[in-house]
Structure 1
Amino acid sequence: MADTTLQDTLRVHSFASTEPGPRLVVLGGVHGNETCGTVGIERTIAELDSGALTLLRGELTLVPTANPLARRLLQREGERNLNRSFRPSEAPPDYEARITNLLCPLLDRHDVLLDLHSFQSAGEAFAMIGPRDNAGALEPFARATEEGRLALHIGTPRVVEGWLDIYAASLAQRAGGTPADDAALAFGWGTNEYMRSRGGYGVTLECGQHTDPAAPVVAHAAIHSALRLLGMVAGEAVAPPQPALLRLVSVTDRLDEEDQFVREWATFDAVAQGEPIGVRADGRMLHAERDGFIVFPNTEAGAGTEWFYFAVASDRAL
């Protein structure tokens, strides 16, 4: 278990205009080794403090480092992944659960969430959105149009959908086809799933590779784009061309630390059906299930954790 003897403080910056308007919350550093969101948020705070940026209406809350313990350790997690099991608990069993209990009421007070992340492999920035409008049991939702507009205006070349669907399918596959119960599905909840469950909407922005010097620039620009789209600051919100939209269809776990990729993959590398992707420790080869794209290939994944995702072209338009 990680050392939590040092006191950690969740730093929250709130700005409120006298004119009513949308309520936006921006999170950085949900994972401690993802620093681009923190840098982008700190730059925005400095602009607001200096008067270089003026909030014209609504409320803006900025959390530069959502997981102080993980940041202090400079690793993805403190005691566990903060972006899983993200909902309040009466008796929080670990550090991330205690932080979740602080963040959930914060999200409750807002309409819109922008969660800033980065990833381990090489690859371009992209946005992640939730389901289309639906009344199903897994993730009912009625604000897909607004969420899609936010993802579109952020301006990444790709947008990805389908996280909770493939998480539920993965659980069922591991259980031999038995649908997962609510407790198991709750582990798949992150910040955006929680935000949607509270009547809001949210976009996760993956700003690029962890150490890419352009990633903090992407994060900072996205905050400005969201503020302009919501009419919270001056400036016209101009939508870029329609991005390529992909749908996650599967996730593959690393079963053994000897499992290896056949080559160094980058996020959004295209593969053809049957193309080899990786080889298991026992020599079994993993092939692409169909034409598609590798997402989040993680050479540092531990045994029993997500090794890579697989996506295909989506028919959805934002």
Structure 2
Amino acid sequence: MTVSTAALTASDTLRIHAYAAIEPGPKFIVLGGVHGDETCGTAGIERAVAELDDGRLRLLRGQLTMVPVANPLARRRGRREGERNLNRLFEPSAPGMEPADYEARITNLLCPLLDRHEVLLDLHSFQSAGEAFAMIGPRDNTGTLEPFARAFEEGQLALHLRTPRVVEGWLDIYAAGVAQRAGGKPVDPVQVAFGKGTNEYMRSRGGYGVTLECGQHEDPAAPGVAYEAILSALRLLGMIAPEPGALPPPKPSLLRLVSVVDRFHEEDQFVREWATFDPVSRGDPIAVREDGSVLHSERDGFIVFPNAEALPGTEWFYFAVNSDRDLTQQPR
């Protein structure tokens, strides 16, 4: 049900900070608070805004836009979603159609904003314990799911965020999960579209984007990770002065998502408390279903986004393996 106008408050206003240098340059947008319980991106953005406003940080060229809280209703309620996940089905409502829910109304405001930019940094955090990491899109391709031609630029942005790990393969595995839930039947394009978020939208508009998972929701270091990522991206794009004596970014571990496992029943339980990027070997037990059957790892790899509180019928955890992709190599 759509949130009524009467139910909205002043705190549901979408606050947007925009800066434009006299010298032309890249058009860069940073989002925080796409999920209401993820506050580190908001804190990082507000720190950068304060430094731009008081002159400690100076924009040399281009245009910079920052949205500290992209989902005000979810933030006001202190939970991941207002009415649904804003980072799914991220596309404007069809012409003449009323937005289906609160998040659709927000999407209708954010999409035209993203349309005016070419680079996106979307700042998030996650529920389980674990280190910060970046998520990137596909390699250059001309396929139908997510055609793309700016993988090198996107990879460079991920590298310069200096996280120990970078993860690829989100939309492919989301689509595979949809097909899995349909029992192998032809996939409904609308269901796959529900897996498309801010970065997928940016790529569909000819730009590129990286999601930075800054750490666990309550990690006191996460706001600093978000802030430093904003500065690193601005330096890479030549929008602020370079850092004197800065070393080249270290080469991160690159992982590829290969599967997603759903939770079927509220009695389904993990065999232990997993953290994102916990390694497992082939044959290791991961979880026990309500009927007593044990889920074992089918290969060596890593647990990603384990969610012990997942609702039945939703994603329980993802599985990743080492990737052969090299983000430092330009395409030939």
The answer to whether the superposition gives a TM-score over 0.5 is yes
Q: How many angstroms apart in 1 are the aligned matches of 2:191 and 2:64?
A: 33
Conserved 8 A contact 2:2-2:102: no
Once superposed, which parts of structure 1, at least 4 consecutive aligned residues long, lie more than 6 Å away? none
AA matched with 1:218: V
Does structure 2 retain, via aligned residues, the 8 Å contact 1:11–1:63?
yes
What is the letter of the counterpart of residue 54 of structure 2?
S
1:36 aligns with 2:40: yes
Counterpart position of 1:305: 314
Q: Which residue of 1 aligns with 2:273?
A: 264
- Aligned with 1:79 (options 83, 86, 89): 83
Deviation of 1:166 after TM superposition, in Å, equals 0.5
The one of 227, 235, 238 equivalent to 2:242 is 235
Percent identity over the alignment is 76
Determine if the alignment matches structure 1 residue 108 to structure 2 residue 115. yes
Partner of 2:330: none
1:127-276 to 2 correspondences below 5 Å:
127-236=134-243, 238-276=247-285
- Calculate the TM-score normalised by the size of structure 1: 0.98
Q: Is the 8 A contact 1:118 1:207 kept in 2?
A: yes
Structure 1: stretches of 5+ with no match in the other structure: none
- State how many pairs are aligned: 318
Identify the residue that residue 122 of structure 1 maps to in structure 2.
129
Residue pair 1:155, 1:239 contacting (<8 A) in 2 also: no
Q: CA RMSD in A?
A: 1.2
TM-superposed CA distance for 1:305, in Å, is 1.3
Taking a change above 3 Å as real, the CA distance of residues 310 and 18 of structure 1, as seen in their structure-2 partners, is: same
- Distance (whole Å) between structure 2 residues aligned to residue 91 and residue 253 of structure 1: 32
**What is the CA–CA distance in structure 1 between the aligned matches of 2:248 and 2:297, rounded to whole Å?**
34
* Pair 1:17-2:21 in alignment: yes
Task: Tell me which moved more, 256-265 or 151-160.
Answer: 256-265
The alignment's TM-score, normalised by the length of structure 2, stands at 0.94
Shift of 1:179: 3.7
Counterpart mapping for 1:86-97 below 5 A: 86-89=90-93, 90-97=97-104
Deviation at 1:279, TM superposition (A): 0.7
Task: Quote the Cα distance in structure 2 between the aligned partners of 1:64 and 1:159.
Answer: 24
Distance 1:177 1:2 in 2: 33
Specify the code of the residue in structure 2 equivalent to 1:217. Answer: G
State whether residues 152 and 239 of structure 1, in contact with CA within 8 Å, keep that contact through their aligned partners in structure 2. no
Asked if the contact 2:3/2:102 (under 8 Å) is kept, the reply is: no
Q: Check whether the contact 1:118–1:209 (CA below 8 A) recurs between aligned residues.
A: yes
Alignment-mate amino acid for residue 263 of structure 2: R
The Cα of 1:169 is off from its aligned counterpart by: 1.1
CA contact (8 A) 2:282 2:297 kept: yes
Q: For residue 263 of structure 1, report the CA deviation from its aligned partner.
A: 0.2
